[in-house]
Structure 1
């Protein structure tokens, strides 16, 4: 007996994200860390009661997952695909100039553009700069995919798939010495190398298993630390020296 075809309910997902409050919550969660409901309410600029309603809808739709920790509820994105979808939408979303409400808001926006997490890998100008360094040093190689319609490889519609980046032999050696088990990464279902089109830089940052493993290693070595705001990460002075010594990458001051 054939099962009836079930198409993805894109309209439902779009309606959920179309709410400004829920979009703010999802963006806050796209950094990969579980956040308390109270933090998400503050991010969305709504009351805790209203936040609970929004979070219940997101949970029922399978976009976020909640868990109880003591007296507090924490939430995280249900999968990396949710973060990927948000990042892709940010690339094609129209930019609307908005007045800066305070120095704090301006500083936070600058910090997000400088260095942030995109689920479990590094993004922002720091992530883009590292990606370009890996390619220029021959640790990764990128090849455009053939476009049947001749539109070119950099359209947002081909988000993360218009180019094929591959780990080179040299890259495997360098990343291996750095403490990343490349052989183990290749045995998992997740692609070792993928990329995202960075929404703030409009260039590529490293995703996939390698991007996640490197970012995790940066945190373990205290090269990166989480900021106060969700998604924001800061490069430490140790990290600045480490990136220079290990990858010949000079992070901007």
Structure 2
């Protein structure tokens, strides 16, 4: 990674600026801006992003349907941050495929760590067991749990020698009950495309005939309805359904056609 990209990464950290304490609602990634959106540099363990299928190297192209293409880093960070525990839909590319996943923001705190904290976190693993580390993490930030340590924007994964001034701890607030971080299976853009979604019908276009199954998921990943059409035709197909009692909001429409899954995001008014 060249010095320009390193500088951009440090300046654009999703978790926090390097030498500043900060607390916000976020998903737990470090990013830098690229032409198509934001490049995921690190996925922080113990955060909502780690519960999803996001991986380092993926490029986030949109958040809640808002494109990040051609934007600056402050705009992109503003879309990813927001109200704690509120679900958001992330569209991203990975290995040439486009995916969508829904996660909930958590309360994330980033603050400098001193040498003692680093020693406890990265102590002698033969003598410091997991329970002791968990006790240390719980005690260091009251109701927040230390989930990772960053050095100049990079996740420290193994025992290393670092100066305390270069180290930030990432904490995630502990909820009274275990937060539900949705592990929505990403949907791939395939040969099916959504044409219409309302409370009475779902219409979609297929490039070839065959059995089609439409699954409607809420923003939380809850399955709302499953609709099947055994003899779908090449072209536009419509399946009637009763969505009169379904709340308004954002939904994920998954279309399984001849074993290949496609997907789209839609709003029910």
User: Normalising TM by the smaller chain, what interval?
Assistant: under 0.3
**Greater share of residues in strand:** 2
**Highest RCO, 1 vs 2 (Cα 8 Å, sep ≥ 6):** 1
**Greater share of residues in helix:** 1
So what's the TM-score if we normalise by structure 2?
Answer: 0.23
So what's the TM-score if we normalise by structure 1?
Answer: 0.24
